[in-house]
């Protein structure tokens, strides 16, 4: 293993840098800019059972040291992802990728995961449980330990590949959610998803986003993400992927020292599409500066 290599749920990565879901499309779009095989992996755009147009516009709003988004899981649906998107990706990416899955019922989660689990390009299933439970009053699956465990158990029953549960930070005790997922069989945890937020247009005196609220991401949320990763990494024994406002090699080291086995980089990709290769290139020198020989083991 090299200086930057890490192990994630039994799969070795050349480095811990993984572009986050929703900021990297299905991968091949960024392959027009650079060789995406330099990445550890990437998490694809959130995929649902049926095609989704997403929320009404405006969907994006600026914020100090970050941005708000309310895209609404726009995607072509899992069947189109398998038949159209993955073949395009196979031409330019030759490593295992992370399939990000969203659903609005247990059946939707299991159906999408079961389909994607069969795809040879998929190394991990990242299950986003920040979605509202349409059969449970609209409460997010990720805000209740019992519901989080139910999704985890159901997905694990129909899959063979590592299942990583992606947690929402919009909860009182994130460690309770993480432990419930681990007890239900999760192979890993990723966090954090975006923080619920809003902006108001002073001219119209109305919310900027058509959906009123959206998810805050970017450097503003890094300290919150770091705290939650630290808490979860000390509460579970399975690997943790840290994300939330990472934009530099120094941020990566902080997140890994806090307990992350790998990291995902989200909003920074939208500000600078070359941020991931820059961070990978910067890591050795920054590691030297702080006396770190290898990333594996600094947690």
Domain membership flag for residue 297 = no
- Residue 298 domain-assigned (yes or no): no
**Residue 295 covered by a domain:** no
Neighbours of 204 (CB within 10 A): 8
**Dihedral sign computed on CA atoms, order 180, 238, 16, 227:** positive
In a domain, 32, yes or no: yes
Q: Please give the mean pLDDT across all residues of the chain.
A: 95
Report whether 40 contacts 14 (CB < 8 A): yes
Catalytic residue among 44, 113, 131, 181: 131
What is the DSSP code (8-state) at residue 144? S
* Residue 131 falls in the annotated catalytic set: yes
The enclosing domain of 177 has a CATH number of 3.20.20.70
pLDDT digits (tens, 9 = 90+) for 159-212: 999 999 999 999 999 999 999 999 999 999 999 999 999 999 999 999 999 999
pLDDT at 138 over 60: no
- What percent of the chain has pLDDT above 70? 97
Tokens of 146: 């019992």
Determine the structural domain holding residue 210 and report its residue range.
6-289
DSSP category for residue 121: T
Question: Residue 95, by phi and psi: left (phi above 0), alpha (psi -120 to 50) or beta?
Answer: beta
Q: Which has the closest alpha carbon to 292: 260, 255, 257, 258?
A: 257
Q: For position 143, what pLDDT does the model report? A: 92
pLDDT at 239 over 80: yes
Q: Please write the tens of the pLDDT for every residue from 23-76.
A: 999 999 999 999 999 999 999 999 999 999 999 999 999 999 999 999 999 999
Helix (H) or strand (E) holding 60: strand 60-63
Report the alpha-carbon distance of residue 237 to residue 133 in Å, rounded.
28
Distance CA(66)–CA(31), nearest Å, equals 25
Alpha carbon distance 30, 262 (integer Å): 20
Contact between residue 297 and residue 5 where contact means Cβ atoms under 8 Å apart: no
Q: What percent of the chain has pLDDT over 90?
A: 94
Model confidence at 132: pLDDT above 70? no
Residue 1 in domain: no
Q: Is 28 within 8 Å of 93 (Cβ atoms)?
A: yes
Q: Is residue 213 part of a domain?
A: yes
How many C-beta neighbours within 10 Å does residue 159 have?
19
Residue 299: what pLDDT?
85
Total structural domains within the chain = 1
Q: Evaluate whether residue 294 is within a structural domain.
A: no
**For 190, how many CA atoms within 13 A lie in the half-sphere containing its CB?**
33
Q: What is the pLDDT, as a whole number, of residue 134?
A: 57
Residues 95 and 241: their CA atoms lie apart, in Å, by 18
Band (133; pLDDT cuts 50, 70, 90):
low
Find where tokens 């939208």 sit: 270
Tokens 């550890």 found at: 40
Band (pLDDT 50/70/90 cuts) for residue 135 is low
Asked whether residue 238 is domain-assigned, the answer is yes
Integer Cα distance of 249 and 285 in angstroms: 9
State the pTM of this model.
Answer: 0.96
Candidates 295, 182, 285, 157; CA nearest to 232 is 182
């Amino acid at each position: 293993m090299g200086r930057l290599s890490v192990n994630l749920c039994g799969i070795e990565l050349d480095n811990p840098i993984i572009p986050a879901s929703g900021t990297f499309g299905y991968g091949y779009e960024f392959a027009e800019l650079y060789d995406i095989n330099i990445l550890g992996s990437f998490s694809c755009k959130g995929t649902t059972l049926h095609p989704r147009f997403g929320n009404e516009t405006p969907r994006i709003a600026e914020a100090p040291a970050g941005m708000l988004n309310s895209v609404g899981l726009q995607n072509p649906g899992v069947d189109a992802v398998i038949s159209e998107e993955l073949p395009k990706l196979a031409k330019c990416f030759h490593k295992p990728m992370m399939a990000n899955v969203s659903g609005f019922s247990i059946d939707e989660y299991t159906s999408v995961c079961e389909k994607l689990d069969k795809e040879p390009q998929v190394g991990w299933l990242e299950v986003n449980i920040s979605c509202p439970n349409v059969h449970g009053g609209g409460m997010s699956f990720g805000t209740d330990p019992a519901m989080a465990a139910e999704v985890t158990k159901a997905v694990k029953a129909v899959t063979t590949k590592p299942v990583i549960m992606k947690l929402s930070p919009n909860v009182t005790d994130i460690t309770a959610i993480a432990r419930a997922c681990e007890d239900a069989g999760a192979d890993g945890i990723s966090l954090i998803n975006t923080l619920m937020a809003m902006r108001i247009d002073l001219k119209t005196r109305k919310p900027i986003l058509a959906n009123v609220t959206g998810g805050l991401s970017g450097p503003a949320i890094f300290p919150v993400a770091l705290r939650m990763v630290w808490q979860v990494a000390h509460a579970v024994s399975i690997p943790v992927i840290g994300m939330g406002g990472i934009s530099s090699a120094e941020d990566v080291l902080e997140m890994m020292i806090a307990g992350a086995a790998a990291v995902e980089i989200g909003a920074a990709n939208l500000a600078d599409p070359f941020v991931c290769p820059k961070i990978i290139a910067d890591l050795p020198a920054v590691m030297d500066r702080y006396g770190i020989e290898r990333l594996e083991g600094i947690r």
